[in-house]
Copies of this chain bind each other. A is one copy, B any other.
Amino acid sequence: MASTDPATASQPPPLTADGVADELAGTTLSKKQAKKLAKKEAKEDRKQQSSASTAAGRDNLAEADPFATNYGDVLVEEIQSKAISGREWTEISALETQHSGQSVLIRGVAQTIRPVSKKMAFLVLRQYMSTVQCVLSVDKESVSPQMVKFATALSKESIVDIQGIVSVPKDPIKGTTQQVEVQIKKLYCVNRSVPNLPINIEDAARSEKEIEKAEQTGEQFVRVGQDTRLNYRVLDIRTPANQAIFRIQCHVEDVFRRFLRSEGFVGIHTPKLIAGSSEGGAAVFKLDYKGQPACLAQSPQLYKQMAICGGFGRVFEVGSVFRAEDSYTHRHLCEFVGLDVEMEIKEHYFEVCDIVDHLFVAMFDDLNENCKTELDGINKQYPFEPLKYLRKTLRLNFQEGIQMLKEAGVEVDPLGDLNTEAERKLGRLVREKYDTDFYILCRYPLAVRPFYTMPCYDDPAYSNSFDVFIRGEEIISGAQRVHLPELLTTRAEACGIEVKTISSYIDSFRYGAPPHGGFGVGLERVVMLFCALNNIRKTSLFPRDPQRLVP
């Protein structure tokens, strides 16, 4: 069975785990060690023979089959770090027409298994975002009818190793990413999935459009609901769209980090366990910390400001943010990944807006250029229009925004906040007038911003703050902060915050504090809105909302 090497026989002898140090440190075996090794090897031989016979006994078909060693279940010990065979696996994404005629070894998930006859079957093997069609056809050198039977009896989503010859079919292959086929010579099941999956990957990967189209012809496809998806997230995230979403998320973080590093920012990590509530106001998760009352940070706000007071100049943090709010919307989570920035400013909070502008334009450019496969993957299941954005990001004042709304017949309190509906409407108006889905709205009323927001120099009813919008939804909040302890105290009091609970924060500004500002953005929201997805749960790997704490 599979205890022989499925790829080639002419490989260096396997390294036993016990030989490690000798092999790697370049030392030679002592007599005692050699004796021990010989003893162990003898033991292994006995063990192998015994497991081989057990395996053979398990599968009666194999006994009568001259090609029995070309297929079967891999024995547990084979995937238990028994040996390093030296075999080379090829990634499915790397299978190109230039491999034609070559023998390759691939490991992947048996996505579909389609028997054609007792002598032939097709398998689609998937690895990450790539798929390849594999053909199993009875021949006189390696493939028996029993092998075809073995293959077609495999349950979908099982992990298999296939060794085969690459060929290029005449007609293009629909339904797989790779445009070659693999003629299977050996096939081993590495890990079997249960026969009845709670979610079918094909169902989970289908677009609403496909489902509707099928319905028109009388066919009925299964719609996999959001909750079912999240309950079986391990299966759900195998779809091409989900594989793409989380790769894009990682890419967003890459660009965020790389851009800020190139601009002299230092990445920091601040505590999530804090005494008192981090910003006051919104609901926090409370816990007992070694007998002291504590809570989870709702943002790294106070700590990133302390890092600025500590002389780091420009800092950012990528970290967990916790909000115990009872928000049951498409855009709120109880736990998300915050991308936070704080920086010294020389004289104007527009220095912060400049960073937002350059960072996000660089990010969108990078995604469009380097994530084409991923964006296509998402588009197939969840079609969306590419984000429109300007080379230099539009900045409007809050007052200008409400004026635009007024002219369009929407009355908004000039010193209040915009509600979700008004934000959407303004997004549409801005798109019409300025041809962009991405813009900055500056100079918000002071009353709707946190206590640490710097008031405007010329009108204390307004503040040196901004929100940033993508497709009519708020994604970033930023501002100049109050760095003057007296003003900070006054502002905290005015906002109804008990000053003594934040005294260590206020004290941080007494030892020489540079003027500064910053912003925060949710990683999940960036991905959701860039790809125009309709629910933040789609861009959180294991989302947490008021009703969901598992898996």
CB closest chain-B residue, reference A235: B511
Copies in the complex: 2
Interface string of A237-267 (1 = CB under 8 A from B): 1100001001101100110010001000011
Q: Please report which residues of chain A, range 466-486, place their CB below 8 angstroms from some CB of chain B when the two chains form the complex.
A: 480, 483-484
Verify B287–A549 contact, CB threshold 8 A. Answer: no
Interface hit among A59-67, A412-420, A539-547: A539-547
Verify B311–A128 contact, CB threshold 8 A. Answer: yes
| CB of A497 closer than 8 Å to a CB of B | no
List, sorted by A's number, 20 A–B pairs whose CB atoms are closer than 8 Å.
A17-B350, A20-B395, A25-B394, A44-B458, A47-B458, A77-B457, A81-B345, A82-B458, A109-B311, A126-B311, A157-B512, A192-B512, A233-B310, A238-B311, A257-B257, A270-B542, A271-B544, A285-B288, A290-B546, A303-B542
Minimum distance in angstroms from A328 CB to a CB of chain B:
11
Verify A127–B313 contact, CB threshold 8 A. Answer: yes
Count of A interface residues, CB-CB < 8 Å: 137
| Known contacts A21-B400, A250-B268, A286-B288: A550-B456 contact under CB 8 Å | no
| CB of A84 closer than 8 Å to a CB of B | yes
Interface string of A279-307 (1 = CB under 8 A from B): 00000011111101010100000010011
Chain B residues near A348 (CB, 8 Å)?
Answer: 81-84
Verify B292–A159 contact, CB threshold 8 A. Answer: no
For the complex, give the distance between the alpha carbons of A17 and B194 in Å.
63
For the complex, give the distance between the alpha carbons of A89 and B335 in Å.
40
| CB of A454 closer than 8 Å to a CB of B | yes
For the complex, give the distance between the alpha carbons of A296 and B78 in Å.
36
Verify B285–A266 contact, CB threshold 8 A. Answer: no
Minimum distance in angstroms from A312 CB to a CB of chain B:
7
| CB of A332 closer than 8 Å to a CB of B | no
| CB of A272 closer than 8 Å to a CB of B | yes
For the complex, give the distance between the alpha carbons of A76 and B434 in Å.
35
CB closest chain-B residue, reference A127: B313
Chain B residues near A286 (CB, 8 Å)?
Answer: 287-288
Verify B549–A289 contact, CB threshold 8 A. Answer: yes
For the complex, give the distance between the alpha carbons of A464 and B311 in Å.
45
Interface string of A61-91 (1 = CB under 8 A from B): 0000000000000001111111111010100
| CB of A510 closer than 8 Å to a CB of B | yes
Interface string of A25-57 (1 = CB under 8 A from B): 100000000000000100110010000000000
| CB of A523 closer than 8 Å to a CB of B | yes
In the A-B complex, the 4 residue pairs with the smallest Cβ-Cβ separation, listed nearest first, are A193-B512, A157-B512, A237-B310, A77-B457
Verify B128–A234 contact, CB threshold 8 A. Answer: no
| CB of A218 closer than 8 Å to a CB of B | no
Minimum distance in angstroms from A230 CB to a CB of chain B:
11
Verify A484–B81 contact, CB threshold 8 A. Answer: no
| CB of A551 closer than 8 Å to a CB of B | yes
Verify B335–A272 contact, CB threshold 8 A. Answer: yes
Minimum distance in angstroms from A138 CB to a CB of chain B:
26
Verify B511–A335 contact, CB threshold 8 A. Answer: no
CB closest chain-B residue, reference A313: B128
Interface hit among A114-122, A167-175, A315-323, A359-367: A315-323
Verify A306–B243 contact, CB threshold 8 A. Answer: no
| Known contacts A127-B313, A456-B80, A550-B275: A197-B511 contact under CB 8 Å | yes
| CB of A452 closer than 8 Å to a CB of B | no
Query: A residues bordering B, Cβ < 8 Å?
Result: 15, 17-18, 20-21, 24-25, 40, 43-44, 47, 76-85, 87, 89, 107, 109-110, 126-128, 155, 157-159, 190-194, 197, 232-238, 243, 246-247, 249-250, 253-254, 257, 261, 266-275, 285-290, 292, 294, 296, 303, 306-307, 309-313, 318-320, 322, 324, 326, 334-335, 337, 344-350, 392, 394-397, 399-400, 434, 442-443, 454-458, 464, 480, 483-484, 487, 504-505, 508, 510-515, 523, 541-544, 546-547, 549-551
| Known contacts A243-B311, A275-B550, A549-B275: A194-B394 contact under CB 8 Å | no
Chain B residues near A337 (CB, 8 Å)?
Answer: 269
- Residue of A288, A334, A458, A514 with most chain B CB atoms under a 10 A cut-off: A458
Minimum distance in angstroms from A300 CB to a CB of chain B:
10
Verify A307–B541 contact, CB threshold 8 A. Answer: yes
Contact of A158 among B246, B319, B396, B512 (CB under 8 A): B512
Contact of A397 among B20, B43, B513 (CB under 8 A): B20
Verify B395–A21 contact, CB threshold 8 A. Answer: yes
CB closest chain-B residue, reference A390: B25
CB closest chain-B residue, reference A44: B458
Verify A322–B273 contact, CB threshold 8 A. Answer: yes
For the complex, give the distance between the alpha carbons of A542 and B267 in Å.
14
Chain B residues near A25 (CB, 8 Å)?
Answer: 394-396, 434
